[in-house]
Amino acid sequence: MTQTDRPSLAALVVLILLQLIMLSALYAGVPPHPPIATPLFGIGPFIGASVSAAIAAIVLGESRAGRLLALIATLAALVSFGPQKYLDPQFPLIWPAVVTAQLAAITVLVRLFPALSRQGA
């Protein structure tokens, strides 16, 4: 990911905004919102870590650390918005966020791994 890699930057911003909106819904108690906790961790701290990784990836740009953080941020966002959400009872209410986040995640992954892209990134 380079500083001029606008699609990756835009996709990371999409993931940041979607996660912050869902976190805000959780704190405000406005449905649909994520659960307060999972069996492994609290959602608030997890989303905070995910958003932080995405922002750090944007700041670090094309460096190895920036690319690694972009990958971590994308995978972390997929915990909230991945394909498992198609089975979530709230899916009819959250599908716009799920589909948008998945498109953003695909964009980041294709740009991170040029072998996935026909254009070679």
Q: How far apart are CA 69 and CA 52, in angstroms?
A: 9
Query: Contact 77/84 with Cβ under 8 angstroms?
Result: no
Average the pLDDT over 82-87 and give the result.
96
pLDDT digits (tens, 9 = 90+) for 7-45: 999 999 999 999 999 999 999 999 998 888 888 889 999
Do the beta carbons of residue 57 and residue 1 sit within 8 Å? yes
> Measured between alpha carbons, how far is 73 from 17 in angstroms, rounded to an integer?
13
pLDDT, one tens digit per residue, over 92-118 is 999 999 999 999 999 999 999 875 555
Residues 6+ apart with CB under 8 A from 71: 108, 109, 112
How much is the pLDDT for 15? 98
pTM of the model as a whole: 0.88
pLDDT at 121: 41
